[in-house]
Amino acid sequence: MNEIDIVRAVTEEGYQISPLAVQLIKSSNSPESLLKYILSTIDDCIFVIEPEHIDLKGFEASKTVLGTSSGLSPLTLSRTPAGSMPSESMP
């Protein structure tokens, strides 16, 4: 994942990102998964994502909980607007 892809994904979600945060994501072993994690957990009051907003320990813990460390594919994390339900059908 290159810098432009990271910046594009962040701006599409309504945020800005510092160059240092971009480099931190890019240098990750799984930048796509880390970026999805950041965008799904970032506080709505943040406008510019800085390195201190990137919770690497939480990301590693979430990979263990979600089973990605065992070789399973990562789950797609998405933000659900407050007060709305996910669009999945309940059985």
pLDDT digits (tens, 9 = 90+) for 20-39: 999 999 999 999 999 999 99
Comparison of pLDDT for 58 and 81, the residue scoring more:
58
pLDDT at residue 76, rounded to an integer: 45
User: Got the DSSP string for 30-69?
Assistant: SHHHHHHHHHHHS-TT-SEE-GGG--HHHHHHHHHHHTGG
Mean pLDDT for 5-31 is 97
Contact 52, 23 (CB under 8 A): no
- pTM for the structure as a whole: 0.69
